[in-house]
Amino acid sequence: MMGYEQVEPSIKPQNRYMPGLDGLRALALFAVMGYHLHLDWASGGFLGVGVFFVLSGYLITDILLNQYRNERKLDLKTFWLRRIKRLVPAMLFVLVVVTVFLLLFDGSRLLSLRGEVFSTVFFMNNWVMIFHQVSYFESFGPPSPIAHLWSLAVEEQFYLIWPMLLLLGIRLAPRRGSLALLIACGAAVSAIAMAVLYNPDGDPSRVYYGTDTRAFALLIGALLAVIWPSRQLGSLMSVKGKIMLELIGAAGLTVIIWMIWRTGEYDAFLYQGGFVLLSLATAFLLASLAHPSSRLGAAFGCKPLRWLGKRSYSIYIWHYPVIILTTPAVDTGDTGLIRPIVQAGASILLAAFTWKYVESPVRREALGAIWANWKRKQKVQINRKWPVIISLGLIIAICASCSGQGSSNAPLLSPVPSTTEESAKPDAGNGNDTGRQEDGTGIGITAIGDSVMLDIKPYLEEQLPGIVVDGKVGRQFGEGMELIDQLKSTGKLGDIVIIELGTNGIFTENKLRSLLDSIADLRRVILVNTRVPRNWQDDVNETLASAAKDYENVTLVDWYSFSANHDEYFAKDGVHIQPIGSKAYAMLIAENIS
């Protein structure tokens, strides 16, 4: 994927090998894997992709500038061919294996990949997801095992366009300082675009996926290549210079680790300058690691980190499908560290296999010799059959994805039990117009929620006769706020309100407090937290708990803890609720009201 353009001396002696950069790859990889494994220390682990972007921008630009200095031209055909050979074979191999696995063991899930394989192969996946409004953070239904490959699309688009832009920049600004200023302006435009397009009240996936809004990371890496070219970094440096170099690297490393540990995908800070801070910190660290006299570079270039770094592309493209395909949708217990360790180990083993039998033969241009030997002897060893296997498997993948119906862009699943309606509105004559609650009944109680509310509706009406229930598939928190305002303005809101929202995505604490302030005159407000196997679950529950304690009329119902170790409560998607769970849910709410 990202930042894999560095080559070893044995392969390309004219380009300098910097072992510390392999350690930086390993650090970024750990962060991304930790995030996808939902480890507590990696709430900001998705920032590892940003680290890769900066690294890739540096290495690509360093290679291009070095070629231009030596030859006074850029061999774009050779450049693009090398990029394809570096990235495509391993990616196709993973796509084939994932497709065959789903075809054999979970054919229904394969249907949801319709179109996604094509957009991934042609490196347009990020824009397809933007166009269809597919969220990286709030994707519903079974997660796509290849959703993480959007970043390859950003990389390949950069590889396609950047050499031509760089050549133009060299012609317009031949001096190093002028070229650096030009690149810095481009990075600034991209960063400003992210800040302007970011909507703090919505899902950030548009600016997260966009090539235009992520280009600043690649350009900051490119800027570093202009002012800190690897081939011109000598080993001789003053003591003062070495100390400054180590301090700069340590500062960058500290910022990166702090952001991985303390930030989250919904922090407005990230999209309003935080990603730029991450990119600059990465550039500082990268500058230190690239210098031959750096002690930090020597530490990052130790053998274990080098081993992981060299295989980090394969590990990256393998780890997410391994995690997605081996994690049960319904899992209400505490699995501890056993499953993450096994998943990480499996990812590394598969990556090692791919590195040896797919990446290395292509990277060392050994496939031509293998093919010639096959034609001569008509018999090859198994490790020389992979090109044919990959080609056949790709045909299977394309045919399988074409034959399916449906789309990966459908954001929601229909509720499983209880009802087939998309929305359950209040029944005519149910409750009273005054909204006053009558003890021992559900009269004067309004329940508002999403598809989970639809699941429990019949059982809630049984527990609390006369209750008014309004549930809707896919309802976001903002829609719930609008409904509550509408009901209140028309005098149809009960003086006890049950709010179950959070299944479909995050909302800010400010939004929640604004809602609670608007209904502070009600007798009681019942907030119900969520259990949903998605990244936003803990954020939603923390937001609810934080706000609820400051309002005297608010009660927090802890459905998350109540449903722990009760897999039987949930449908196969791990979100919607079976009848036995719906009954327990309704009883829990009724008990809290009484």
Map residue 470 onto helix, strand or coil.
strand
**DSSP classification of residue 503:** S
Angle among Cα 176, 178, 184 to the nearest 5 degrees reads 100
User: Alpha-carbon distance 291 to 26, whole Å?
Assistant: 18
Virtual torsion, Cα 141, 44, 326, 348, nearest 10 deg: 140
Known catalytic membership, residue 573: yes
Known catalytic membership, residue 576: yes
User: Alpha-carbon distance 448 to 484, whole Å?
Assistant: 8
Q: Which residues of 103-127 are buried (b: 16+ CB within 10 A; e: fewer)?
A: eeeeeebbbbbbbbbbbbbebbbbb
User: Alpha-carbon distance 111 to 163, whole Å?
Assistant: 38
- Which residues have a Cβ under 8 Å from the Cβ of 484 and sit 6 or more positions away? 448, 493, 497, 499, 515, 518, 519
Using alpha carbons, list the distances in angstroms from residue 320 to 95, 325, 478, 539: 12, 8, 31, 22
Phi, psi of 411 (to 5 degrees): -80, -20
Nearest to 220 by CA among 284, 173, 150: 284
Structure tokens at 515: 């809602």
**DSSP classification of residue 557:** E
Which one of the listed residues 267, 485, 538, 573 is annotated catalytic?
573
User: Alpha-carbon distance 585 to 582, whole Å?
Assistant: 5
8 A C-beta contact, residue 289 and residue 297: yes
Q: How much of the chain is helix, strand and coil, in % rounded to 5?
A: 65, 5, 30
Structure tokens at 571: 């449908």
Q: How many residues does the chain have?
A: 594
Map residue 446 onto helix, strand or coil.
strand
8 A C-beta contact, residue 360 and residue 352: no
Structure tokens at 412: 């929601």
Which one of the listed residues 135, 190, 401, 451 is annotated catalytic?
451
What are the residue numbers of the active site? 451, 573, 576
